[in-house]
Amino acid sequence: MNVGFFYIKNHGVAEETIASALAAAKRFFALPLASKEAIDMSKSTNFKGYTPLLGENSNPENRGDLHEGFDIGWEDSSGSARADDGAMSGANLWPDEQELPGFREAVMQYYNAVVSLGKLMFPIFALALNLPEDFFADKTLKPAAILRLLYYPSQDGLVDDRIQGIGAHTDYECFTILWQDEVPALQALNLDKKWVDATPIPGTFVVNLGDQLARWTNDVFKSTVHRAINRSGVERYSIPLFFGSDYDVVLEALPSCVSAERPPKYEPITAGEYVRSRIAETYGHGK
C-alpha cells in the first residue's frame, strides 16, 4: 500500500519453464527484422505481436522506448483466442513454426504457469482489503493476462535522455509478475520522487501493482511509476505478465475504499475498454 512493488520467491514456477521461455525470447529477437515485421503489432486487432525499437512510447515526454517486444494474450490448447473479450478480442500472432520450432509451446507453457501463480495471489490482495478471500475469483475466470517478451539493447556512451529502455509509466492491469535477467535496469519511483533500483535477485519475480487495482481500491493500493534503463554494456531480457481482471468486468471503487473524505477518484469502465485505451496511447498505431 506504500510501495506498490515487492519480490516473491518460492513461487513454484519451474526453472526449466523460465529457461525455455528465455531461450525462446532470445531466438525470437535474433530473427531477421523481416521475420519479426511479418507479425508486427500493426497487423493485430488487439495489440498482439512484435514491437520494434522505438515502436512504443510509455512516457509521452519521451521520444520512444528502446526495446523490442513480443506480446501475447490467452489462447486455448488448440491455439484459439476467446471470442468474447470485448474491446480486447483477437488472436495471437506467432512467428513461423518452421523458422522457430517450439517457440509457441515454450511461451504458452510459461504463460500458463505464471497465470496460475497470479491466481494464487488474488486471495492475498482480497484478504488485505478485508474482503472474502474469493472476492476476485469470479472476476478472474478468463485470464485477461498479457505476456510480453522484452529485449533491451544496452545504451552506451552519450545517450538522448528522452530515449529510455521503457519510459516512466504505470502498468494497466491489477498486478505485473516480472521475470528479469541479471542485468540491472528496472527502477521504481518512491514517495520522495527518487528512483529506487529494483535490483535483480535470482530465483525471484518482481511484482508491481497496476492501475486496475488502484481503480478498484480508490488508490489504497498504489500503482507505482517505474521505468527501465539499460546502461550495463550488455543486452537485457525481461518477461512481464500483466494480470488483469476479466475484460467484461466493470472496474469501480470498492465500497470499503470510499468515504466522505475519500470520494471515488475514477469513473467506472470495463477492464477491456480501459486496457485497450491505455495500450493505444503508447503506440502510434492510432487504434
Ligand X SMILES: O=C(O)CCC(=O)C(=O)O
Cell, residue 27: 531466438
Name 4's Cβ contacts closer than 8 Å, sequence gap at least 6.
Answer: 188, 208, 209, 221, 222, 223, 224
Under rule CB under 6 A, residue 210 binds ligand X: no
Of 59, 57, 40, which Cα lies nearest the Cα of 48?
Answer: 40
**What does 117 bind: ligand X, Fe ion, none (CB cut-off 5 to 8 Å by kind)?**
none
Residue nearest to ligand X (CB): 238
For position 226 contacting ligand X by CB under 6 A, the verdict is yes
Shortest CB 187 distance to ligand X, Å: 9
State the Cα angle at 112 between 86 and 182, rounded to 5°: 115
Q: How far apart are the first and last CA of the chain?
A: 33
Give the total residue count for the chain: 287
What does each C-alpha distance from 189 to 168, 224, 280 come to in angstroms?
A: 9, 7, 24
Shortest Å, Cβ 275 to ligand X = 12
> 186 touches which of Fe ion, ligand X, none (CB within 5 to 8 A by kind)?
ligand X
| Residue 41 binds to ligand X (criterion: CB under 6 A) | no
Site mask for ligand X (CB under 6 A), range 101-140, x = bound: ----------------------------------------
Our CB check for ligand X shows the closer of 108 and 166 to be 166
Measured CA to CA, the distance from residue 226 to residue 109 in angstroms comes to 27
Binder of Fe ion out of 68, 171, 173, 246 (CB under 5 A):
171
Three-class SS state of 185: coil
What the block records as the C-alpha cell of 55 is 515502436
Task: Kindly tell me which of 139 and 226 has the beta carbon lying closer to ligand X.
Answer: 226
Q: Which residues pair with 147 in a beta bridge?
A: 72, 241
The SS3 call for residue 113 is helix
Q: Which of residues 166-205 bind ligand X (CB under 6 A)?
A: 166, 171, 178, 180, 186
Instruction: Give the footprint of ligand X on residues 229-258 (CB under 6 A).
Output: 238, 240
Q: Is 48 in the site for ligand X (CB under 6 A)?
A: no
State the binding partner of 139 from Fe ion, ligand X, none, CB within 5 to 8 A by kind. none
The least distance separating ligand X from the CB of residue 76, rounded to whole angstroms, comes to 25
Hey, is 278 helix, strand or coil? helix
Local structure of residue 69 (DSSP, 8 states): E
Tell me the closest approach of the beta carbon of residue 11 to ligand X, in angstroms. Answer: 17
C-beta closer to ligand X: residue 44 or 180: 180
- Binding residues for ligand X, how many (CB under 6 A)? 11
| % helix, strand, coil for the chain, step of 5 | 25, 25, 50
Which three cell numbers, joined as nine digits, stand for 145? 493476462
Query: Least distance in Å: CB of 25 to Fe ion?
Result: 17
Selection from Fe ion, ligand X, none that 209 binds (CB < 5 to 8 A by kind) is none
Pairing state of beta strands 195-197 and 236-244?
unpaired
Residues that bind Fe ion (CB under 5 A): 171
Interface contacts to ligand X, rule CB under 6 A: 148, 150, 166, 171, 178, 180, 186, 226, 228, 238, 240
